Chains A and B, each alone.
Chain A
Amino acid sequence: MQRIDSNITRLPNAQINDADGLTDMQLNNAIDLAKGGDLEAFRYIYNQHLNLVYGLCFRLCADKSQAEDASQEVFIQLWQKIDSFNHQSKFTTWLHSVASNVCISYIRKQKGWWQKVFSLADENKHEQQDWGEISADTLEAFVLRLPERTRLVFVLHGIEGYRHQQVAQILSISPNTSKVQFHRARAMIEEWVNE
């Protein structure tokens, strides 16, 4: 990425993008090149934002392998949608929104019809999934232990900072349901922390 790297030396005082350490000019350059079909520029964006996207996907999926697949899906969709990024908001904010939506939709696709049928019965049943190196007694593990619907609300509102109205929109639920699920998650986590 010589074309993008060269901008750093030309703009020593450029504003640093707080999410990934890129200068705004450098990132905008990469976005514009990617919009023009430059896959190398897109790979640069990928390298700079992979951990951010993967972190979000992992918290939402609560499974290492699914989070990897979902992250790939996010970047594939991002390649198709990058033309619609109009620099009106921060790229990381826009990317976060795209990633949340794509990941939720990925999770829905992964759920088979039989899982939907039995979801009520399994609501309180914790299934140990592949959490990678996260030990079971950490706060992060408690979040991953939450039932799916509760976890999605908790992650989006409690960790990622979406408002209940936005969470409701992303998950196609009512804002009240979002609030109820969030408080339920909070109560469960508090209980596990105090055990």
Chain B
Amino acid sequence: MSKPKKQQQELEQRIASLNRPIAPNKDLWQGIEYAIVNQQQAASRQKAQIKKASGVSRYLAIAASIVMFGFLVLFIMDHNLNQQGESLIANLSDSHQKQKQALIVSFADTPAATNNWEQQIADLDEAESAIKLALKDAPNNPALLKMLKQVYEQQLAIIERVHAPAWQQI
């Protein structure tokens, strides 16, 4: 075996022998234990915070559920009220149409005092349609209901007035 090759082999062996455990000059455990215990405490704190946060979020969820339920109740009530309002308008309108037709029929043989009373009734019909359109969005609006009632009263009053003038009653 040539000298350089032998030297290289010796070097290889010496290098391989470097793979050995070495003892540190001081014990390192204290620092390791401190870090581990600290990490554990931090993890416990974090868990506690998460638990606390999840407790708070549970209450928030309950509160949100209550609010949602409240909204649902209001929505249902509002829906029912709307249905009630719509039904009231339909009844009112139906009743008025019957009353109006009955009145016109009853005055069929009586001459009218003016010629434009039918135009006035038609104008009031248009007013009725406009109020009903508004009532579709707010069936329980008391002001609109009152206006509709007034329109119906005016129509009936015109029919009666033109067919029974005041001077004839004196």
By a beta-carbon cutoff of 8 Å, the part of chain A in contact with chain B is 39, 42-43, 46-47, 50-52, 54-55, 58-59, 64, 67-68, 71-72, 75-76, 79-80, 132, 139-140, 143, 158-161, 189-190, 193
Contacts and interface: CB of A to CB of B under 8 A. Distances in A.
Contacts of A159: 15-16, 18-19
A76 B23 contact: no
B28 A50 contact: yes
A80 B19 CA distance: 26
B32 A76 contact: yes
Interface residues on B, range: 20 to 34
Contacts of B108: none
B21 A140 contact: no
B11 interface: yes
Contacts of A193: 11
Contacts of B35: 72, 76
Contact of B22 (A39, A55, A72, A158): A55
B28 A75 contact: yes
A64 B25 contact: yes
A80 B4 CA distance: 49
27 contacts: A39-B36, A43-B29, A47-B29, A50-B24, A51-B23, A54-B21, A54-B22, A54-B24, A55-B21, A58-B22, A59-B18, A64-B24, A68-B24, A72-B28, A72-B32, A75-B32, A79-B36, A132-B25, A139-B11, A139-B18, A140-B18, A143-B18, A160-B19, A161-B19, A189-B11, A189-B15, A190-B8
